[in-house]
């Protein structure tokens, strides 16, 4: 076991059995006990059936990733039991409510070799016997899990009361089921010793998904309209903002398709409203003609591109970081854009705010990359990072700043022309998708076309000078640096905390890319110059960031850890790789 200050619990079942809700209850109750938690879920693209799980890891220190082996497993279906039994680590325990469940010969040998224990609890029968409903077996099973964790029942009871506050008639029965599960006589269970210290102040933390944090960040950024067509894993941004619109007064609309979404957002941004859209790879494909429109009309456009494995439908409910090239190069013609990548819970909140400031200042499309692992994982948050100041970059209404029509696409050294909201001044201009003169009039003149195109492209240089270098995280004097982007940061951080504690003479740090394009390479060039050992870690097969950095520096990464099976990185994978590659 790599991390002896972590306990991992896996709730398994089928889609439709409420596995995610049960996992969230467990996470909330563990937080109530004063522990740090991290929640990770896997599920098939089915309404009902298949196999799914919600895994909660908890510790006395912050966690932002998962272990690929668990200490405890609770199963609500036969399919999921057989699927996930091999993920029990040595001395792990599994509890299920499945009558006449038989282990295969292979499973018997596996559990014997790992000293695993498997227990049956007839939770559905018990729930009916004490006056509840069969569905309340969930409460019995969670309470039995709590007994194995050797934790007091009160925090779990408190969470159940909160969860059923809107159904007060169900509280009494569920509390009775909790007591029955906690007091159930299960022979030979081995209560765990939670040997790390609880922190009472953690009870006030919030449990938020990455999509929750992007949504809250959008509110802080002054977004007044959100348009979307549901597409996993971006869909919960739509549902979250729709649930909160009474508080935010934000216009939230589900439209017929992604083309309508992009076009509506462009219209709103053209008229001065901060509007946001979100989709996944296939939806962004449909938006690309509109992204090109934003490029030539110099209309700000912000899109959250929540990545999942492709091509086509691919693995629609799984994770990947395969759309960096799509974000940088999609769309016909040449025009400037900015691509930013979320990497953790804090950046999910802050980078959407930066995305709007950049989009409006440079009047360009800005794509914010996230992925399923960030979008749907459950992070434990204390205070949010400081909000980013809103900068609209519009001409003020001062008398000496009244523009002329030819100012709108004025040729400037920076590439940035004055922008004002239609109706803000008497002066008008044409927002034209054809090539045009500085006032928007259509032109096919060779010289003017070249000058206008070069004007727009100069924004890339201006933007590159403004963007920050990638961040170095960890020991500054480390001789080995891992270069990465996106959600791998979380497993890398957790694994390196342990690695650097255990290997003081073989320290490793990180070079994290968040502002992906235009691409800054100063920090990387310093590492190359100083002959640091560089390892590339990406959640894709083409090493897309690595190829981009090679294109910009000529440096070729020879050591890589790549993953492309729809799963995120787990801490064991990182640690084992370091053991095999750091001499």
For 183, the domain range is: 6-204
**Structural domain count of the chain:** 4
Strand runs labelled E in 43-128: 49-59, 70-75, 88-96, 117-120
Whether 252 maps to a domain, the answer reads: yes
Whether 388 maps to a domain, the answer reads: no
| The model's pTM | 0.96
pLDDT digits (tens, 9 = 90+) for 441-489: 999 999 999 999 999 999 999 999 999 999 999 999 999 999 999 999 9
| Contact between residue 211 and residue 238 where contact means Cβ atoms under 8 Å apart | no
Pair (424, 516) in one structural domain: no
Pair (354, 223) in one structural domain: yes
| Contact between residue 553 and residue 524 where contact means Cβ atoms under 8 Å apart | yes
Pair (188, 253) in one structural domain: no
Pair (186, 165) in one structural domain: yes
Pair (93, 187) in one structural domain: yes
| Contact between residue 315 and residue 308 where contact means Cβ atoms under 8 Å apart | yes
- By CB atoms closer than 10 A (0-12, 13-18, 19+), residue 422 is exposed
Pair (218, 189) in one structural domain: no
Where a domain ends, among 413, 439, 466?
Answer: 466
pLDDT digits (tens, 9 = 90+) for 537-574: 999 999 999 999 999 999 999 999 999 999 999 999 99
Cα distance between residue 359 and residue 21, in whole Å: 37
Pair (258, 361) in one structural domain: yes
pLDDT digits (tens, 9 = 90+) for 254-302: 999 999 999 999 999 999 999 999 999 999 999 999 999 999 999 999 9
pLDDT digits (tens, 9 = 90+) for 389-430: 999 999 987 767 789 999 999 999 999 999 999 989 988 999
| Contact between residue 427 and residue 402 where contact means Cβ atoms under 8 Å apart | yes
Whether 387 maps to a domain, the answer reads: no
pLDDT digits (tens, 9 = 90+) for 290-337: 999 999 999 999 999 999 999 999 999 999 999 999 999 999 999 999
């Amino acid at each position: 076991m790599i991390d002896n200050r972590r306990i991992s619990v896996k709730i398994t079942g089928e889609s439709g059995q409420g596995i995610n809700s049960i996992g969230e209850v467990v996470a909330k109750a563990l937080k109530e006990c004063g522990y740090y938690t991290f929640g990770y879920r896997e599920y098939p693209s089915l309404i009902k059936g298949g196999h799914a799980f919600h895994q909660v890891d908890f510790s006395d220190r912050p966690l932002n990733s998962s272990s690929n082996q668990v200490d405890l497993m609770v199963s609500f279906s036969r399919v999921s039991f057989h699927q996930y039994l091999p993920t029990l680590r040595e001395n792990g325990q599994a509890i299920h409510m499945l009558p006449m469940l038989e282990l295969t010969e292979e499973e018997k040998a596996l559990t014997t070799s790992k000293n695993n224990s498997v227990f049956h609890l007839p939770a559905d029968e018990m729930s009916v016997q004490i006056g509840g409903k069969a569905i309340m077996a969930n409460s019995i099973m969670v309470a039995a899990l709590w007994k194995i964790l050797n934790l007091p029942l009160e925090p779990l009871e408190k969470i159940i009361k909160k969860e059923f506050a809107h159904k007060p008639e169900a509280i009494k029965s569920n509390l009775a089921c909790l007591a029955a599960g906690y007091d159930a006589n299960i022979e030979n269970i081995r209560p765990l010793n939670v040997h790390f210290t609880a922190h009472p102040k953690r009870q006030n933390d919030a449990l938020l998904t990455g999509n929750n944090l992007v949504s809250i960040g959008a509110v802080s950024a002054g977004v007044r309209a959100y348009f979307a067509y549901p597409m996993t894993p971006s869909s919960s941004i739509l549902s979250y903002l729709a649930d909160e619109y009474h508080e935010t007064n934000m216009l939230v609309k589900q439209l017929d398709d992604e083309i309508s979404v992009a076009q509506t957002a462009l219209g709103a941004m053209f008229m001065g409203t901060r509007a946001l859209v979100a989709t996944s790879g296939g939806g962004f494909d449909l938006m690309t003609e509109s992204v090109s429109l934003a490029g030539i009309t110099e209309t700000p456009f912000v899109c959250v591109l929540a990545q999942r494995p492709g091509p086509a439908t691919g693995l629609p409910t799984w994770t990947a970081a395969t759309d960096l090239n799509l974000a940088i190069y999609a769309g016909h013609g040449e025009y400037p854009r900015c691509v930013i990548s979320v990497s953790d819970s804090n950046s999910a909140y802050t980078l959407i705010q930066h995305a709007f400031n950049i989009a409006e200042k440079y009047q360009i499309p800005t794509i914010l990359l996230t992925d399923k692992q960030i979008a749907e994982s459950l992070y434990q948050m204390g205070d949010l990072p400081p909000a980013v100041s809103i900068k609209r970059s519009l001409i003020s209404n001062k008398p000496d700043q009244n523009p002329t029509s030819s100012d709108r696409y004025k040729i400037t050294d920076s590439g940035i022309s004055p922008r004002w909201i239609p109706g803000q001044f008497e002066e008008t201009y044409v927002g034209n998708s054809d090539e045009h003169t500085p006032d928007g009039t259509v032109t096919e003149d060779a010289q003017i076309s070249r000058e206008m195109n070069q004007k727009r492209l100069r924004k890339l240089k201006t933007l590159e000078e403004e963007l920050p270098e990638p961040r170095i995280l960890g020991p500054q004097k480390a001789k080995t640096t891992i270069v990465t982007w996106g959600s791998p940061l979380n497993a890398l951080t957790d694994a390196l905390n342990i690695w650097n504690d255990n290997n003081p003479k073989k320290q490793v740090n990180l070079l994290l890319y968040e502002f992906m394009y235009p691409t800054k390479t100063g920090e990387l060039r310093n590492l190359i110059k100083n002959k640091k050992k560089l390892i590339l870690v990406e959640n894709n097969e083409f090493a897309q960031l690595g190829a981009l950095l090679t294109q910009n520096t000529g440096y070729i990464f020879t050591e890589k850890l790549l993953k492309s099976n729809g799963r995120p990185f787990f801490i064991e994978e990182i640690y084992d790789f370091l053991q095999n590659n750091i001499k």
